[in-house]
Structure 1
Amino acid sequence: MAGLIQRAGLKVVVGLGKTGLSCVRYLKQMGYTVAVNDTRENPPNLAELRTEYPDVVVSLGHLDAELLLSAQEIVCSPGISINEPALAAARQHGIQVIGDIELFCRATTTPIVAITGSNAKSTVTTLVGLMAEAAGIVVGVGGNLGTPVLELLAQPADLYVLELSSFQLETTFSLQAAAATILNISEDHMDRYANMQEYHAAKQRIYRNCHYYVTNRQDLLTVPLLPEHIPNTSFGLNPPDLHQYGVIKEQGVSYLAKGAQKLMPTQEMGIFGEHNVANALAALALGEAVNIPMTAMLTTLRHFTGLPHRCQLVTKQQQVAWYNDSKGTNVGATLAAINGLGASISGQVILIAGGVGKGQDFRPLSPALVQYSKAVVLIGEDAQKIDAALSPQLVKYYASTLVDAVQQAHQLACAGDAVLLSPACASFDMFKHYEDRGHQFVAAVNALYSL
């Protein structure tokens, strides 16, 4: 039994969040000697670790250079940059720094659909997983979404669908995806990467050794530098060529289409907005690549109503709609939400935005806001930076709290308008995480109407 074998070499797990603890459990089950290093003095899951594995050495409060240099291999959580000096020194000494996705890929030969992108990863990953379920395929869904990927190995599966971040891809070497995609690329994590080229290179790693790939033909940065003989297709919001996915318009009706074949009217989808049409087309292309029947995929698109905190309708009161898009943590995501919502309502958008800007350029938001917005209510650490970057044509307000922002938006909104929380920023200046921000928004909106 693998769990009874004592394997040579020390594995040092860096970071004791949910992912880190899953790595410790997996490595101990596989018979490895494991140590843990975390920069925090009291990381989450510490008590759980010490109860389950009292023999595991734990070093806290800093990256322990001595411990890292004693490792045979380092398993790094995605929240920690591999360019930290102690990790860079270990790499220079020939010690490989990997992540949980790498451990997973080494452990399974089951086909993997691998999905990355600056935005929409979670929605497309969830859609492909639900499409597989609808077809009766035993599927495991995880990665950067929900379940730590190593926990998926506990149950048998015929297919895995993984959401992968650029951070996870940096430490992954053995992925051979049955189908891989970059959905889109826009500026993000500029507090972690030196420039867009570095971020782009991390995303492109998803295509290494893949068997099939899907690109966004309206975003050239998603196109891989791969040999042309690898099978592939594309999706886009324009009319598709043969074997491609896209949109056909006839007599004022828009259809999801493959080549010249109309698949279903977009208005029959359970999710709204052009960005979600693109997400549906990407999911269809990936699903087809791993032989999910079209009938099951289209049925899923009719019934799927979206994920929490992603352009989620909170309520519609007095002909004003309130949308929670707290997962909009970068400019590209917020831009997609503004365009998708703005084009679908009779009134205007009142945007609540702000937080930790991660070094982004907020200027690309201006054209859509000028076209669709009534006002922007700014919150958080980088409110002034966003204000300075946006067009002076826009009406802007400041709010000290999210409750204050909701109340100001309520005063500004008229029948037909929509209030959109899509911060274009990380949440950790004012909230525990984006889910906490979303929940607080929902609570503040409900309090307005005593719901």
Structure 2
Amino acid sequence: MANNGTNKNADVLQSSPLGAGGRQRLVILGSGESGVGAALLGKQKGYDVFVSDGGMLKANYKQELIDNGIDFEEGGHTTEKILSADEIVKSPGIPEKNELVKKIRAKGIPMISEIELAYRFKGDSKIVAITGSNGKSTTTSLIYHICKSAGLDCALVGNIGYSFAKQVAEDPKPLYVAEISSFQLDDIKDFRPDIAILLNITEDHLDRYDYKFENYINSKFKIIENQQQEDYFIYCLDDEVITKHLENINLQTNPLPFSMRQELNKGAWIKGDQMMLKVQEERMSMSIYDFALKGKHNQYNTMAAGIATATLGIRKERIRDSMADFHSLEHRMEHVATVRGVEFINDSKATNMNSTWYALESMRKPTVLILGGVDKGNDYSEIEELVREKVKAIVCLGIDNTKIHEAFRMIAPVLDTDNAIDCVKQSFRLAEKGDVVLLSPACASFDLFKNYEDRGKQFKDAVKEL
């Protein structure tokens, strides 16, 4: 695809979607939250919008398209209609190796992500964008919580659940706090956050990046590729992948690092049991024991949130209070119940090894660990030491658990289950008073569940039935 042609076409659309030859045709591939949001914004801005989905539309999304007079198809793609587009918004779930995507690329039709379309029409609003392999949702939600508590008029958007484009179309705000995935970053052009946060980079989603870690790293760093001198880049100085990559790029933005290992001139760091924060003239300290979010990984998340909100000019007293009263997210280290002395924790959102490592690292009681699902190329040796130290038994929740058995059968008992009810019953049987049952699967959920939310909900329902 020729870059010059793409940029020229996109610039024309940005200035006016109503071209001289009639309305510009915008095709949306995928009808999930982001796809329908893009369709609604495109319609509002005067595009001729067509939505195409290879699967069946959810009833609520279909009704939204009908109510807004947006043309769509489901259960398959009409190639001719798609290739007649002036521009295409691609769902982040559709990979480059998709045959239809290959045809679009071959024809040179500009293809963007929903966040790019939203950015095009966000006006003077500010964006805080958060990405990373782990901790995105928690950090995004904490920043939003601090901003709301400080009285800022803002919206929580992006990968966390609500379409950025739909928010811009229906209820624009002066500030957007956006969780951004690498898939969403892959198809940006001009997207430029005022504050960009890169929490960490570990091997994840490599099946989407030709199994080349460098491709995934480059995707994450796209979050700052359009930033300028007046913008801010918040990143983890302790992450060797990030710091090594920074050695090879010319940073055009203001860096604000955070660290547990060293004191800094600006940014945030942990000294003893105190978090120290210094941004411009704003300085604050806070005991890590007062953080609502527990565990070492959440100290990193909290530092990132503290820097971002201080950069927005929020007073340190408000930041401190909000960090102390924040409630953790559903499906992320979520306390479910304590049944006859056994605590159940739902960490269903842990779909990779790094997330599960952090979950185990924070355990302070003997643990029955629930693993399994769709393996994304996991190397279970990454958690072997923690399993030896903390885990008394492993219960698999998946169809193919071969790799888990091979990795841990000499360390702890490993049992198989293929549904949430049996999984919870077996885990409870293996646990004793004072133990924890931790669902932190390190795998995707699609073999047995609709998504990680469905897995977490079924787990919680099964616990309540004990």
The two structures have a TM-score, normalised by structure 2, of 0.88
Residue in structure 2 matched with residue 32 of structure 1 by the alignment: 47
What amino acid is aligned across from residue 208 of structure 1 in structure 2?
A: E
- Cα distance in 2 for residues equivalent to 1:394 and 1:197: 35
SS for the counterpart of 1:191 is: helix
Residues 139-150 of structure 1 mapped to structure 2, 5 A cutoff: 139-150=154-165
Q: Does 1:293 align with 2:308?
A: no
SS for the counterpart of 1:437 is: helix
Residue in structure 2 matched with residue 118 of structure 1 by the alignment: 133
Q: Does 1:168 align with 2:184?
A: yes
- Distance change >3 Å, CA 5–CA 209, structure 1 → 2: closer
Q: What is the deviation of 1:262? A: 6.5
Q: What is the deviation of 1:258? A: 2.6
Q: What is the deviation of 1:415? A: 2.8
The two structures have a TM-score, normalised by structure 1, of 0.91
- Cα distance in 2 for residues equivalent to 1:59 and 1:285: 45
Deviations 1:168-198 (A, max 9, x none): 0011111211111211112222332212222
Which has the higher mean CA deviation after the structures are superposed, 116-125 or 383-392? 383-392
- Cα distance in 1 for residues equivalent to 2:259 and 2:425: 38
- Cα distance in 2 for residues equivalent to 1:230 and 1:420: 40
SS for the counterpart of 1:419 is: strand
SS for the counterpart of 2:336 is: strand
Q: What is the deviation of 1:381? A: 2.6
Q: 1:88 aligns with which of 75, 98, 102?
A: 102
Residue in structure 1 matched with residue 235 of structure 2 by the alignment: 215
Q: 1:266 aligns with which of 285, 288, 292?
A: 288
Q: Does 1:70 align with 2:84?
A: yes
Q: What is the deviation of 1:18? A: 2.0
What amino acid is aligned across from residue 86 of structure 1 in structure 2?
A: L
- Cα distance in 2 for residues equivalent to 1:55 and 1:411: 53
- Distance change >3 Å, CA 317–CA 220, structure 1 → 2: same
Identity %: 33
Q: Does 1:193 align with 2:212?
A: no
2:236–2:259 contact (8 Å) kept in structure 1: yes
Residue in structure 2 matched with residue 311 of structure 1 by the alignment: 333
Which has the higher mean CA deviation after the structures are superposed, 404-413 or 215-224? 215-224
Deviations 1:397-451 (A, max 9, x none): 2123221121111122123221100111111211122111111111111111xxx
SS for the counterpart of 2:269 is: strand
Q: Does 1:339 align with 2:361?
A: yes
Which has the higher mean CA deviation after the structures are superposed, 265-274 or 39-48? 39-48
Q: Does 1:203 align with 2:220?
A: yes
1:3–1:29 contact (8 Å) kept in structure 2: no
Unpaired runs of at least 5, structure 1: none
2:284–2:316 contact (8 Å) kept in structure 1: no
Residue in structure 2 matched with residue 242 of structure 1 by the alignment: 265
Q: Aligned residue pairs: how many?
A: 438
Q: Does 1:129 align with 2:149?
A: no
2:274–2:287 contact (8 Å) kept in structure 1: yes
- Cα distance in 1 for residues equivalent to 2:345 and 2:260: 24
What amino acid is aligned across from residue 197 of structure 2 in structure 1?
A: T
1:144–1:163 contact (8 Å) kept in structure 2: yes
What amino acid is aligned across from residue 277 of structure 2 in structure 1?
A: K
- Cα distance in 1 for residues equivalent to 2:69 and 2:250: 50
- Distance change >3 Å, CA 391–CA 289, structure 1 → 2: farther
Q: Kindly report the root-mean-square deviation, in angstroms, between the aligned alpha carbons of the 2 structures.
A: 2.4
- Cα distance in 1 for residues equivalent to 2:351 and 2:86: 36
- Cα distance in 1 for residues equivalent to 2:52 and 2:140: 31
- Cα distance in 1 for residues equivalent to 2:62 and 2:178: 29
Q: 1:278 aligns with which of 300, 310, 316?
A: 300
